[in-house]
Each structure stands twice: as structure tokens, then as C-alpha cells.
Amino acid sequence: MNLNDKEFFSQSVHKYIVYKDIDETLKKYRKRVLSELHLRNLTEDFFKDRVLIDVGTGFQAIVASQMGAKFIYHLDQSKSQVLWMQEYCRLNGIHNIKSIQCDITKNIPIEDNSIDIVLFFGVWHHLITPSDFIRQLIPKLHVKESYVWLRVYRFGSWSRWLVENLRQISKKTDLHVIENLLNIRYPHLSSDQYKGDALDDLFAPVWGAFHPRQFYIECVATFINYKDFEYNFNDNDENFRVDFNLNNENIELFKKFNFPDKGECQTDFKFNKDYEIANEIQNIFNNWDEVIGSDNLEDKLITLYELVRKKPIFNFYTQVYIEDNSCADFTKRLELLLHILNTFKKEQKCI
Ligand SMILES: C[S@@+](CC[C@H](N)C(=O)[O-])C[C@H]1O[C@@H](n2cnc3c(N)ncnc32)[C@H](O)[C@@H]1O
């Protein structure tokens, strides 16, 4: 990882989806934190008088502070995000958040035996060696009782499968060219979330999709909203959640567990007959260079990325958003994806 990678999220993702409108972002994070609590049958007073770690932008830390947490350590490797949080807390008279710039896989500069709850949402799959984070974290946890909550990219969901394939193509393109094209194709502020998500998916320096079984520790791991699956392109969440509710009795099992650093590869997967068309698509992606080639790669990538997320399509010519339902179910999405890829194949043959 080079120096610049440390600022990737602030420079290419969060400027679109976090810092554009702070009030809206706070509302969004409050909703998210509440839904994480509800999923676990908890209410917002759960944070009351507890000491937390929040890794990432720090907005969960702000929400936890509003919900009565005693103290929150906000950790991020990004200098600009940490400076932003420190200034935000200063301006808003928040005294129970300490924002620290650090690489959480190398050093967590917090007192031992002090942490009750760790909110680790959306970060595991972006670390080179996330198991090192757990190693650094263990001594910081309260020995009597603590909670570590993870939200991780899920292997075999529609968006993660397609993105893993698209990342093979984005490697051959330039982030700034794609960013410019996204700004041209989607000029409206209301598409900023989409642009941030696209740059995150296509260019995050580290990316992996994990299977829940990689986190299974008997008597320690609890899967929230877990469905047993190998792959599943329906409307299930593109993440899974796993909690470790730790205490004197089970902490040794947690310490001994081999946490996964790498996700599971989705591009050599063989789908069953309900998803047969996905095998055909996978074959095209795996042989992209021969069957499609490198012409207009950026445009092709953006066109394919449109299928990753259900979103209203913006018609550039009429300047109107079309609430398009053609991607509503996974068979239709697969058919559309195959159709687009076959169009690219035909174009290649004509050249
Ligand atoms: C997808 S983002 C944030 C997700 C989080 N749910 C949020 O919104 O705050 C991932 C964050 O992890 C941070 N990060 C990535 N690797 C890190 C590391 N080794 N140490 C500390 N922070 C890291 C990035 O800078 C980024 O802010």
C-alpha cells in the first residue's frame, strides 16, 4: 500500500458520499446505527456509559456520542479524515470523542482493557491483513465483557460477484478518467452516492468478498440475518454481519481463531442450473481480452457498472431520471448483462 492509498477513501469516495452534506450524512448514519441496533434487538441506550471504538469516517462515533456513550475512540489511517473529525468535535463542543490517526493493523494507541464495544462496519474487506487488526485489538478489550461487531462484504451476492469481475477490467483503466466520465454521465448532485460507490467498488486498493463460514467460531460468533448460501443473487443484503460477544469464558477461543485475510474467489465458481446463464457470463469475463479486447474500456466499464446497483437511470439527453424496473429480479439482470456483453463481443468482431 502506498502513501496515497491512505487517502483513497477521503479523496475518491467520501467526498461524494459523506462530506457533501453533513446534516444529511448524520441522519443517514443515525439511521444505519439504529438499524444495526434493531437487528440485534437492542435500543439506543445500549451505548450508554460504554467505551467504544469506531473505525472509518467517525460518523458512527458522533451518533454513539449523541446516544450517550461514555467515550469513543475514532480510528482511521486517513490524516484528512482525522483532522476533519477533530475540528468537527472542537466546533461542536464534543469532548468524549478522541480521533486518532493510525494503521489499526499495526498499532492501536489506546489503553489496555478499556473497550466495551467495537463498531467495525465496512472495513474488514479493505484491509491487507485484517487478522492483524484482531491481534492488535484483543488486549484493548475489556476482559469481563466486550462486543465486536463486523459488517463484511458477502461472497456470492449479485453486486459483489459482478464487482469482482469488473475489478479485473478497472485494473486496466485510470481512476481519474473513470471519475471524469462518471461526472459527465451523471452530472446531478443526486447521483453523488452512486459515483462514490462506483469509485469505491472499482478502485478501492484492497477489496475482498468473504463467506460467513470463514468467521465461524463455535460458541463465540453470532451471525445476524444469516442465511446459509453459496451464492444468492436475490435481494438479500450484499453484506453479512457477525458479532463476537466476548467474556472470560470464550475469549480464548476468539484469540486462537485463524481470522481470514482473504475473501473467497468468486470468478472460478460453477453456478447451478437456476443460474446457468451466470456460467456463460463468467466465461466471457474470464476471457475478456480475447473476446472483447481493450477498446473503449472505460465506457464499457461504466455501462456494466450500471447493473451493479438498482438505481434510476439518468437519461443524459432528456435530463430525466427513469425509474427503470428492468433490473428488478436477478434473472432479468443476468439476461441484460449477457445481452450487453454479447453486444460488446459483436462490436469487437466488426473491428
Ligand atoms: C469504507 S470506509 C468506512 C466505513 C465506515 N462504515 C464508515 O462509514 O465510517 C473504510 C475506512 O477504513 C479506513 N482504513 C482502511 N484501512 C485502514 C487501516 N489499515 N487503518 C486504519 N483505517 C483504515 C479508510 O481510511 C476508510 O475511512
Per-residue pLDDT tens over the stretch 92-108:
999 999 999 999 999 99
Mean pLDDT of 99-126: 98
The residue whose CA has the least distance to atom 20 of ligand 1 is: 103
pLDDT band for position 73 (cuts 50, 70, 90): very high
Q: Are 12 and 203 in contact (CB under 8 A)?
A: yes
Kindly list the strands in the beta sheet with 97-101, ordered across the sheet, starting from the edge strand earlier in the chain: 97-101, 71-76, 51-55, 117-121, 145-153, 239-247, 221-224
pLDDT of residue 176: 96
Look at strands 145-153 and 239-247 and give their pairing. antiparallel
The residue whose CA has the least distance to atom 26 of ligand 1 is: 56
Distance of CA 117 from the midpoint of ligand 1 (Å): 17
Ligand 1, atom nearest to 133 Cα: 19
- Candidate of 103, 126, 201, 238 to mutate for ligand 1, largest count of ligand atoms within 8 Å of Cβ: 126
| Ramachandran category for residue 56: left, alpha or beta (phi over 0 → left; psi -120 to 50 → alpha) | left
Mean pLDDT across the chain: 91
Distance of CA 123 from the midpoint of ligand 1 (Å): 5
3-state secondary structure at position 99: strand
Q: Which CATH number does 3-155+207-256 carry?
A: 3.40.50.150
- Joined together, the cell numbers standing for residue 189 give 448532485
Q: Where are the alpha helices (DSSP H) in the chain?
A: 8, 15-17, 22-39, 59-66, 79-91, 130-137, 158-170, 175-185, 192-203, 251-256, 276-286, 288-291, 297-305, 330-350
**CA–CA gap between residue 62 and residue 25 (Å, rounded):** 11
The residue whose CA has the least distance to atom 7 of ligand 1 is: 56
**Does the beta carbon of 103 sit less than 6 angstroms from any atom of ligand 1?**
yes
pLDDT of residue 47: 98
The residue whose CA has the least distance to atom 27 of ligand 1 is: 56
pLDDT of residue 226: 75
**CA–CA gap between residue 216 and residue 219 (Å, rounded):** 9
Distances, alpha carbon 292 to alpha carbons 44, 171, 296, 298, in Å? 52, 16, 10, 13
Q: Are 140 and 114 in contact (CB under 8 A)?
A: yes
pLDDT in tens, 201-244: 999 999 999 999 999 999 899 999 777 777 888 777 889 999 99
Highest mean pLDDT among 103-117, 309-323, 333-347: 103-117
**Does the beta carbon of 76 sit less than 6 angstroms from any atom of ligand 1?**
yes
**Does the beta carbon of 64 sit less than 6 angstroms from any atom of ligand 1?**
no
pLDDT in tens, 22-52: 999 999 999 999 999 999 999 999 999 999 9
**CA–CA gap between residue 229 and residue 155 (Å, rounded):** 9
As a whole-number percent, the residues of the chain with pLDDT over 90 amount to 79
**Does the beta carbon of 105 sit less than 6 angstroms from any atom of ligand 1?**
yes
**Does the beta carbon of 159 sit less than 6 angstroms from any atom of ligand 1?**
no
- Joined together, the cell numbers standing for residue 263 give 475473501
Rg (CA), the chain: 21
- Candidate of 27, 31, 55 to mutate for ligand 1, largest count of ligand atoms within 8 Å of Cβ: 55
72 has pLDDT over 60: yes
List, by residue range, all CATH 3.40.50.150 domains of the chain. 3-155+207-256
Distance of CA 154 from the midpoint of ligand 1 (Å): 17
Ligand 1, atom nearest to 128 Cα: 19
**CA–CA gap between residue 185 and residue 303 (Å, rounded):** 10
**Does the beta carbon of 122 sit less than 6 angstroms from any atom of ligand 1?**
yes
**CA–CA gap between residue 40 and residue 44 (Å, rounded):** 11
pLDDT band for position 323 (cuts 50, 70, 90): low
Write down the pTM of the prediction: 0.93
- Joined together, the cell numbers standing for residue 321 give 431520471
- Candidate of 25, 76, 203 to mutate for ligand 1, largest count of ligand atoms within 8 Å of Cβ: 76
Distance of CA 197 from the midpoint of ligand 1 (Å): 14
